[in-house]
A and B are shown apart, each in its own frame.
Chain A
Amino acid sequence: METRDVFWRIYRQSLPVLFVALLGGLFAGLVLEGLIESVERFPGLLVMVPVFLATRGNVYGALGGRIASGLHQGLISPRLERDDRLVNAVIASFVNGIGISIVIGVVTWLALFLLGWERALLVEFVLIMLIAGVLTSVVLIFGLLLLIFAGFKRGYDPDNLVGPIVTTLGDIFGMLFLLFSVSLVGVVL
């Protein structure tokens, strides 16, 4: 029964990583619960949270998918080396990840402005996003590559690893760096 084999293979390979993702998500939830208190200092902050967390799926999920396909096709090898393809994929992720963070700050402020809701300053939103975006991209890009390569060498299908790794790292570090960034900007400005 090929069908049954495929079913169980996907289920068994994905479940452990999804459980790790669940733990990461619950941890991020605890941080989010703490972040809700900062809403008074930065009104409109909650609007940015899902958008900021979604970026990791967009930028680093795409990087992971590209690396997974590259490994499958034998275009790249599972090592952190100065390979042209790998370097280009990493540069693109930095540019995309940090660039979109700035856009998020601006767009959030604009949306709140258009809705006529209470909002923090534009420069506060942009700074919070920039700091959180830079820190998150460093940890996510290198963390993702190391984990995919390690999994691939142990015989895991990188396709099953990418999504959960990205969301788990993104949840934990995204929320922590966001909380850090919010506190930092709260102190400095």
Chain B
Amino acid sequence: MITPQGSLGTWNWKTIVGNMFPLLIVLTVIVLFAGVRLEEAEEMLTEFVILAVMVPTMVDMGGNLGAILSSRLSSRFHLGTTTLDPRDRVLWANVLAVLALAATIFTALAVGAFLLGQLLGSTLGLGTLLVISLTSGMLLAVIAIIFSFATTYASYRYGIDPDDTTIPVVTNVVDVFGMVIFLSVSALVLGV
């Protein structure tokens, strides 16, 4: 690509990589904690196989919900339409929609895991899976919402393009929380 740096502005690949790569390394170190936690929980996952099947969804859904919210927030910033005013009803509609989506999806996760569990010979009942899934899921949704607002606002204040920071930070922090919360809630409910 022989293009003058200036004409592309924040779309120049060297600018994007220069802005993002240091952040990516920091995020890698953060998420490593989730990995260490997963490695530690290997025994519980071998005993209750259905928990391993739930792990990716449990970890991702928080990130998904956070990404839906922060992507909307950062587009609003780009278009210049947002101030973080607690009386802004549209913002509340965003938050409530995310919570409603979480309740729906984590109920579905428990049902899906229960059905797959029947095939894998899992002994955990639907009630137990619902408690694990909804408790960890709703906690996770709240954390995702808080981090979406905090990071979008912070990157806007410090003049960093929210697209380069918000979504990564939200997904990673929520990934770690998702893993830790899910494994802890499971251990608590199952008495392991």
Contact = CB atoms under 8 A, between A and B. Distances in A.
Interface of A: 2-4, 6-8, 10-11, 14-15, 18-19, 21-23, 25-26, 28-30, 32-33, 36, 39, 44, 46-51, 53-55, 57-59, 61-62, 64-66, 68-70, 72-73, 75, 84-85, 87-89, 91-92, 95-96, 99-100, 103-104, 107-108, 111, 115, 117, 159-160, 162-164, 166-167, 171, 175
Given A36-B52, A54-B171, A65-B166, A96 B20 contact: yes
Contacts of B98: 10
Contacts of A61: 67, 167-168, 171
Given A39-B42, A54-B175, A49 B168 contact: no
Contact of A57 (B12, B32, B63): B63
B93 A3 contact: yes
Contacts of B167: 57-58, 61-62, 64-65, 162-163
Contacts of A21: 57, 60-61, 64
B146 interface: no
B167 to A, nearest CB: 4
Given A11-B100, A19-B105, A95 B27 contact: no
Given A10-B68, A15-B101, A175-B56, A22 B93 contact: no
Given A18-B64, A57-B171, A167-B60, A89 B13 contact: yes
B40 to A, nearest CB: 9
A95 B17 contact: yes
Nearest to A12: B97
A36 B36 CA distance: 14
Given A88-B11, A108-B35, A10 B56 contact: no
B27 A171 contact: no
B31 A162 contact: no
27 contacts: A6-B94, A8-B97, A10-B94, A26-B112, A29-B56, A33-B52, A33-B53, A47-B39, A49-B35, A50-B59, A54-B172, A57-B167, A58-B168, A61-B167, A65-B67, A72-B79, A75-B11, A92-B14, A96-B20, A96-B21, A99-B21, A107-B28, A107-B32, A111-B36, A160-B72, A166-B67, A167-B63
A108 B36 CA distance: 9
A87 B109 CA distance: 38
B172 to A, nearest CB: 5
Contacts of B21: 96, 99-100
Interface centre among B31, B58, B74, B96 (most CB of A within 10 A): B31
Nearest to B176: A50
Contact of A3 (B14, B90, B175): B90
B24 A19 contact: no
Contacts of B71: 64-65, 68, 159-160, 162-163
